[in-house]
Copies of this chain bind each other. A is one copy, B any other.
């Protein structure tokens, strides 16, 4: 295999499985020219019937065949029932060799492993959280998986890199004409943002709902013009599984300290003023920072512009108090947020293209002041790993991480300096997910490192009481406590590619020895 070194020093094969790979050149150094993908022309006439008697009927009608690509969205996260249901049906139908292109897979999707073994699934293009990632890490997938960020996935769909033959769209409510939303029905999950590009660009799309409502089903997140078939099933999943991680503010003193440092840093950075905007998610540290920032803003009368989320009740509270003017929402994590999303026009649905598509005419991540982000590892070049652990296991998806890192004025990694006595700050990350050039600050309980590229920020923070120090120092401290972790035991075979948001390749993931 012939390799080229990319801009973060990783070796990228020139070609793999017939796919020519452009090595990562820098966060904004590669610009693809050309035109967007062009889905087939459809035809609409009176009396058209979209309602199918069964999932199998819909799949037959959509013309699914061996070797095609099917897609899913993950708004129901670890509560999703649709991926497994569809794969079981497809397996029964004897269709094989599919590429599975979910926006993300979760532990609930471990039956996918059986469908890889029985030949139904031949490739995966999408984020893998948990068991499927583990299975792929040990070489279980016969082909090379591709992981993309939220912005990278929509870009890939729009520019034709990821062609979807049949999109399966779970909707908590639908009408018989295919107007879909996630805010009514028994399995509400909020926006349908992840699935918009799938619906718009797939050759065929099948809506799957457990609540069929009379026409017209309003509000419309995905309109009937993008939906070929509608199937009613008993259950699309269990919304309580949306919250697979935590949506509570951390109680760990270490993590609270990180959140405190982060909030203080933002305050001192000069960004925390009227019009302030940030991205937050559902993690414990992130929620604590949201709370702390909200308290400062409320106390000081600062009127924020927007929170871009993963929306939780903590963000909704700031919104309802008028501390921030609006919410942008691609994923909802709790019931309070669904209510707000449904009822308030300033709590606005954000398609992934609006959120983070580098091939758009302007996306939201570029408008954010601050993004708080997690990591499994950060290295002394500020490169961030969110995909693998230090043993090389591919256990996490990408989310919007590299998108936010590249777009936000201040991208901030908020992490403990080690976990289970394994260092998080390292000389070199196991896998590069986001390039160091897009990371401004790393905040740990042990100190804060500013990227030397941000001399403006270093200058600004001079005299701060915060424990600001070089990242090498942080690394040394952590290694003094934990020692260096053993290098992962890897085979030669590349089991996954990490695609950067612009379509270049930033790293590869290799098979782990058992």
A42:B345 contact, CB within 8 angstroms:
no
For residue A326, CB closer than 8 A to chain B, the reply is yes
B366:A219 contact, CB within 8 angstroms:
no
Residues of B within 8 A of A36 (CB): 38-41
For residue A45, CB closer than 8 A to chain B, the reply is yes
For residue A227, CB closer than 8 A to chain B, the reply is yes
Given contacts A38-B38, A214-B275, A354-B224, A31 and B48 within 8 Å (CB-CB): no
Query: Interface with B: A357-365, A448-456, A472-480, A506-514, which one?
Result: A357-365
Chosen A-B contacts, 24 in total, with CB atoms closer than 8 Å, are A28-B45, A31-B43, A35-B38, A35-B39, A36-B40, A38-B38, A42-B360, A42-B361, A44-B357, A44-B358, A44-B361, A44-B366, A45-B358, A46-B366, A48-B362, A205-B361, A215-B367, A216-B306, A218-B348, A223-B354, A225-B363, A226-B360, A226-B361, A345-B345
Neighbour of A46 across the interface among B214, B226, B346, B406, CB < 8 A: B406
A366:B48 contact, CB within 8 angstroms:
yes
Q: Which of A35, A41, A226 lies at the interface centre, i.e. has the most chain B CB atoms within 10 A of its CB?
A: A41
For residue A37, CB closer than 8 A to chain B, the reply is yes
How many residues does chain A have at the interface if contact means C-beta atoms less than 8 Å apart? 63
Complex Cα distance A212/B223, Å? 29
Interface residues of A in 21-42 (CB under 8 A from B): 28, 31-42
Complex Cα distance A403/B359, Å? 34
Closest-CB distance, A206 to chain B (whole angstroms): 11
For residue A340, CB closer than 8 A to chain B, the reply is no
Complex Cα distance A123/B427, Å? 64
A177:B367 contact, CB within 8 angstroms:
yes
Closest-CB distance, A205 to chain B (whole angstroms): 8
Interface residues of A in 140-159 (CB under 8 A from B): 158-159
B41:A159 contact, CB within 8 angstroms:
yes
Residues of B within 8 A of A407 (CB): 46
Convert A358-380 into 0s and 1s, putting 1 for each residue whose CB lies closer than 8 angstroms to a CB of B: 11111100110000000000000
Convert A396-424 into 0s and 1s, putting 1 for each residue whose CB lies closer than 8 angstroms to a CB of B: 00000000001111000000000000000
For residue A103, CB closer than 8 A to chain B, the reply is no
- Excluding A28-B45, A46-B407, A216-B306, 4 further A-B contacts by CB distance (< 8 Å) are A37-B38, A214-B275, A225-B360, A225-B362
Closest-CB distance, A340 to chain B (whole angstroms): 13
Residues of B within 8 A of A34 (CB): 40-41
Neighbour of A216 across the interface among B37, B41, B305, CB < 8 A: B305
B362:A227 contact, CB within 8 angstroms:
yes
B360:A44 contact, CB within 8 angstroms:
yes
Closest-CB distance, A78 to chain B (whole angstroms): 29
B361:A305 contact, CB within 8 angstroms:
no
Complex Cα distance A224/B362, Å? 6
For residue A178, CB closer than 8 A to chain B, the reply is yes
Neighbour of A345 across the interface among B219, B226, B361, B363, CB < 8 A: B219
Convert A168-209 into 0s and 1s, putting 1 for each residue whose CB lies closer than 8 angstroms to a CB of B: 000000000110000000000000000000000000010000
Neighbour of A218 across the interface among B40, B225, B226, B346, CB < 8 A: B346
B45:A361 contact, CB within 8 angstroms:
no
Residues of B within 8 A of A158 (CB): 41
For residue A228, CB closer than 8 A to chain B, the reply is yes
Residues of B within 8 A of A178 (CB): 361-362
For residue A127, CB closer than 8 A to chain B, the reply is no
Residues of B within 8 A of A363 (CB): 44, 224-225
Give the 3 A-B residue pairs with the shortest CB-CB distance, closest first. A225-B360, A35-B38, A38-B38
For residue A68, CB closer than 8 A to chain B, the reply is no
Complex Cα distance A305/B48, Å? 18
